[in-house]
Amino acid sequence: MTVDHGLSPASTGWAATAGEAARSVGADWRGLSWTGPRPATGLPAAARAARHRLIADAARAAGARVILFAHTADDVAEGEMMRQAGSSLGRLRDWAPSPAWPEGRGLMLLRPMLDVGRADLRDWLTEQGAAWIEDPANQDPRFARSRARAARYGLGPAGPGDDPPVAPRDTHDSPVPVALGDGVFRIARAISARALAATLVCAGGGDRPPRGDRLERMRDRLRNGESFAAVLCGARVEARPDQVVVCREPGEFARGPASALPLAVGAETVWDGRWSITAPAPGWRVVPAAGRIAGLSRAERASLDDLPPAARGARPVLIRNEGNAPVLAGPEFEARSLVEERLALALDRMTHERDLGPRAHGATPGKHLFSDADITKTGSAPRFQGPRRE
């Protein structure tokens, strides 16, 4: 797949050349185009996000689970120089989940060439009689990576970049979240910055990591043993003396109420970045349970008792077009939480594509969460008591 960002007059020809090269060695090829408005600032980050969304959509359409990228050792070295100059750019990893969400759900990125230098790759291509394209933007000093590339060869100073922050890997000795079900997690007060950031992003359903200063303030409060409730990245953190719980903040729906999301029959719909729902019949819409819990059946209300009160309003419920009586999203609607698998991927707890969730052809997913000692829904999870917030 080749993404034409439309940022150079020559880009259409470059994409066509890439297609010819792919087909000449017997590979299929897809040309993808980034259309729409361009931001006045942060163009590299916006282009990167658009590129990953386009590639993720194409991969899912093709039934792929793993996407290969050709980043090299030079990309790794340049990224390190950018971080030293003040960038929050993340480290390239050989095996990582797609950063596009929800388009990239269940997709992994593999970078098999991180130990290969760019010069070595060019030498090899020359030996094969193959040509390549040099993008002039790679030497444009307006862009952080171009400045880092120039500085690496003594041609100028490196400068900070504008890519989104991605923390390095944790060791497997770091305390990991425990899934309590429906996108709710119990975390340790000694949780690492990376694991906390990933838990917040996944539980909140978004794709933007927290700012470093806000994340560190929350970690300080946790380490200091404080009891508090706080919201960050759309996730609610409730720290009590006995445990710390992270869930979706239902108050987000009250502050910015969204219209009911219609469900197409037999088609997967991702709601709130956290749930996958497929309706078996026409006429259904999905909304948050906040403000509608009292309208659920007694059995449905009872099924929410294992969740902390603050998390119940973020559960999806369904209503018919001709009525307002809510129904709790459940197995009959093929409703499943995406949060647990997403967090497991973000924390490097899945090491092979066979561990991923439902396949494009509908195969039943295998066990997708860590081990009994890691992120998993345990039988000993506490039952939350206290008043219901309906």
- Per-residue pLDDT of 235-289, as tens digits, reads 999 999 999 999 999 888 876 656 789 999 999 999 999 999 999 999 999 999 9
Q: Per-residue confidence at 145, pLDDT binned at 50, 70, 90?
A: low
Sort 175 into a burial class: Cβ within 10 Å, 0-12 / 13-18 / 19+.
Answer: middle
pTM of the model: 0.77
Q: With 80 as the cut, is the pLDDT of residue 349 above it?
A: no
Question: pLDDT at residue 361 above 50?
Answer: no
Task: Please indicate whether residue 352 or residue 78 has the higher confidence score (pLDDT).
Answer: 78
Calpha distance 185→195 (Å, rounded): 12
- Report the pLDDT value the prediction gives residue 352, as an integer from 0 to 100: 60
Helices in 327-390 by DSSP H: which ranges? Answer: 339-346
The pLDDT mean for the chain works out to 82
Q: pLDDT (tens digit, 9 = 90+) per residue, 184-225?
A: 999 999 999 989 999 999 999 998 888 888 999 999 999 999
CA 271 to chain centre: 14
Q: How confident is the model at residue 318, as a pLDDT? A: 94
